[in-house]
Structure 1
Amino acid sequence: MRRRKTWLVYGSLLLILLIVFCWPQKLDDNFLELSTCPACYGQGLCPAVNENEYTGTPKINLVGFSKWKIMKLINVKNVYYGQSNSMPVVLKKLAHDSELHEYNTKLCKANKEGDNCDVSLAIKSVLARNSLNIAQVINRYPHIFETSEGVKCNHNRSLYNLYENYMNIDSGPYQQHHFITMLAVNMEPLILNAFRDGWFPALHGMCGRVMVEEYIGPTLTELGHTPWHARADYARQLIEMAQDFSSGKFLLYMTDVSLDNFAVNSNGKVKLIDAENIVLVDPAVDGLDHSEHINEGFGCRDCLSFSYEDLCGHVMADHNFFAVCKGMLSSHAFSRDLPSGLLHDPPGWVRKEHPRLMSLIEECARPESHTSIVPQRRQAAAALHTQLMQVLHKLGRA
């Protein structure tokens, strides 16, 4: 009799779980967390996202496993897939639920309230007390931004560049509130909007605490065993990305180079699909060291070690080349899924005609702090790029 009651209890619990979680997930006010606004990412895309807004705008629909509520239990990254006018898109909440809760708590603290305050009112109060001055808020409440890569250097011009570009897509009364929230939680939408140079997905917009961006395609992890010539072209593009990010008006240093963070579109173009972990540097800031900072790989052998102080304090650094070569191309790459690197197992004719190609990868990747020789990482990366171009040209793919 007791066993039967136990089975009835378990059966009832299972039935409740099935009813609650095996049910279509709606893109409604609750999912979008609209009650937190303006402590959210924006509301410009809500007519196309929010199912509760009845407009003539075509709606974005969740697809695949993303459309079931059970994904809330297992989707800790809060990344969902959908369709917009038959085009695939990605919906991101930009943080784990626990991280979003932590941001709420920090806002409440800044407003001298309890942990469960109304964040929609708290952020209005915080900004009003600081005359809507974003720089003042950043300096006065550093605890709100302690996990943000965007303010590690706190170079005013680079932050203003993000804000100036953001004003082009959000002209509403709460643009500062939305900007502060994204800068504190995850600045990916700000990066995608400000740097439209082809290395990032296209940004569709934001609604509540959800951003929508272009779906690119399979990640480099998934493409790690495609034909070598295709991987050679991906490597060529990664080196070009490192070069572009390391020069120009503002410098972007990648601090998370997992192969899962890069994807390839239908035209073979490599793009960075996770732009949260980027350090922004303004090389025009007075007082920076004009020598090149060399990333010597201190701290660990199998991870990307770096110093914010060094990246922020120099007008140039070889960090991105180290990140690409050591993190993804080297025969001792960081990736657990592809530990032998993206260019593993080159064809015999490549080894014969380009005997230095594989050694150039290691020259670019190898920290040389144990010697008195200054690493020539940029030169090794440039030589590697040249050899990859020669290979691709011979194959008719350059």
Structure 2
Amino acid sequence: MGPEDVDISWAEKEKCPACFGDTCELLHRGNFATVRPESGRSWRKGIVSTGKIGDVQVIAKTMSKPEAWRRYEKFICRSSPRPKECNPSSFILETMLVTNVALKLPFLRGAFRIAHPDSKPALPVCLSAGFLKEVKKLFVGKESTEMTNGDVIRRAFLSTSLLISEEAVLLRYFTTQLQSPTPWPFPKFYGACGRVIVVEHAGRTLDAFIDFPWKVRADIAVQLLQLVDTLRQTDPDWILFSLDVTFQNFAVDSRGRVRLIDFDDVLVIDRRTVVNHQEQKKVCNEPCYLDFQKKLYYSDQYHCEDILKYTPMMYANSKTSK
């Protein structure tokens, strides 16, 4: 059986371009095997298959529940000029999701309701025009006066990724930039095929290490604090703020390195849009932080300019994570 004969029906590549991407050759050459349900205890987000790219163990995973995809497809059909005969997989190219409007902040800040009406994702909350421009450049390439069919398809991939799962966007951006000055502690993004993404296997989640020797646990604790340092201080352009520092959101790989593996509650802060931390005079304690979270998720008036005073709470949360 050759690479093209490998069954990758679980990737749903026929759903493209209403999908994350079309680099399906990754799955054909990666010797992927279907994951047994009981074997995925330490992995999250619907791991459907494991494989290898070179010597690197990787996983293919879905990024959202089927209900979110169904809602997304309904939106595509309602937005199409031919709603009664709609095939969302191809009709997405006829909708506003491939226009400039769909890739601007005013639309994206409310568009999460299309697929996730009951939860507010973190990424759009403090999203800046600068970061969105960089992501668009990564997915679509340089702006041109006339879009090719390939340009339109890549816009569909980007809109789908932004509206279905920000993790597909963040991992691609932060782990594939060859000239990035920051070694981000995240599993590497290798590509996307249909409605799965392929990323480096990051190891076991931290709850698997609760009964390990003290020396191992101490090393993990130190790495967690160093990881927070990286998120807050290392990059000249971006600050990443994880609002959910729990055992299940971090993993330890085969080399003993701690990685952040869940990005549902990660804010990307553009340093150019916030008050410099040296200008912050008040220290935020726990009541202050809880009030901040309420403003963040339940108010449309909060715009993140003073967010740097809240990021040190990641240190406290990493010490008490469960």
Do the structures match in fold with TM over 0.5?
yes
Task: Decide whether the 8 Å contact of 2:171 with 2:189 is kept in 1.
Answer: yes
1:236-275 equivalences in 2 (<5 Å): 236-247=222-233, 248-275=236-263
Q: Give me the whole-angstrom Cα distance separating, in 1, the residues matched to 2:232 and 2:201.
A: 26
Q: Give me the whole-angstrom Cα distance separating, in 2, the residues matched to 1:82 and 1:251.
A: 31
Aligned length: 287
Residues 114 and 216 from structure 1, CA distance in 2 versus in 1: closer, same or farther, beyond 3 angstroms?
same
Q: Give me the whole-angstrom Cα distance separating, in 1, the residues matched to 2:109 and 2:79.
A: 9
Q: How far off is 1:137 after superposition? A: 8.0
- Equivalent of residue 268 in structure 2, options 270, 280, 296: 280
Deviations 1:213-268 (A, max 9, x none): 11121111101221112211211111122122123311111122221111111221
Asked whether 1:144 is paired with 2:114, we answer: yes
Q: Give me the whole-angstrom Cα distance separating, in 1, the residues matched to 2:266 and 2:50.
A: 26
Deviations 1:166-221 (A, max 9, x none): 357xx943211101111111121221222232410011110000101111211111
Q: Tell me, what secondary structure is at the counterpart of 1:90?
A: strand
Task: Decide whether the 8 Å contact of 1:63 with 1:83 is kept in 2.
Answer: no
Structure 2 unaligned spans of 5+: 1-5, 142-147, 176-182
Q: How far off is 1:123 after superposition? A: 2.1
Asked whether 1:322 is paired with 2:313, we answer: yes
Partner of 1:155: 128
Residues 252 and 116 from structure 1, CA distance in 2 versus in 1: closer, same or farther, beyond 3 angstroms?
farther
Residue 144 of structure 1 aligns with an amino acid whose one-letter code is I
- Equivalent of residue 91 in structure 1, options 40, 60, 78: 60
Partner of 2:25: 47
Task: Decide whether the 8 Å contact of 1:48 with 1:59 is kept in 2.
Answer: yes
Residue 67 of structure 2 aligns with an amino acid whose one-letter code is S
Greater gyration radius: 1
Q: Give me the whole-angstrom Cα distance separating, in 1, the residues matched to 2:18 and 2:221.
A: 39
Partner of 2:178: none
Q: Give me the whole-angstrom Cα distance separating, in 2, the residues matched to 1:260 and 1:233.
A: 17
Residue 316 of structure 2 aligns with an amino acid whose one-letter code is C
Residues 220 and 181 from structure 1, CA distance in 2 versus in 1: closer, same or farther, beyond 3 angstroms?
same
Task: Decide whether the 8 Å contact of 1:127 with 1:177 is kept in 2.
Answer: no
Partner of 1:291: 280
Q: Which has the higher contact order (CA 8 A, sep 6+)?
A: 2
Q: Give me the whole-angstrom Cα distance separating, in 2, the residues matched to 1:114 and 1:314.
A: 44
Q: Tell me, what secondary structure is at the counterpart of 2:271?
A: coil
Deviations 1:302-350 (A, max 9, x none): xx9464266722262333x423423x423xx4x2xxxxxxxxxxxxxxx
Residues 184 and 259 from structure 1, CA distance in 2 versus in 1: closer, same or farther, beyond 3 angstroms?
same
State percent identity of aligned pairs: 21
Q: Give me the whole-angstrom Cα distance separating, in 1, the residues matched to 2:110 and 2:140.
A: 23
Residue 255 of structure 2 aligns with an amino acid whose one-letter code is N
Residue 206 of structure 1 aligns with an amino acid whose one-letter code is A
- Equivalent of residue 197 in structure 2, options 193, 211, 225: 211
Partner of 2:304: 312
Deviations 1:23-51 (A, max 9, x none): xx9412xx22223211100002x12325x
Superposition TM-score, scaled by structure 1 size = 0.62
Q: How far off is 1:144 after superposition? A: 3.4
Partner of 1:123: 92
Q: Give me the whole-angstrom Cα distance separating, in 2, the residues matched to 1:274 and 1:83.
A: 20
Partner of 2:168: 189
Partner of 1:391: none
Residue 166 of structure 2 aligns with an amino acid whose one-letter code is M
Partner of 2:48: 80
Q: How far off is 1:79 after superposition? A: 1.7
Q: Which moved more, 1:147-156 or 1:249-258?
A: 147-156
Residue 125 of structure 1 aligns with an amino acid whose one-letter code is E
RMSD (Å), alpha carbons:
3.7
Q: How far off is 1:110 after superposition? A: 3.9
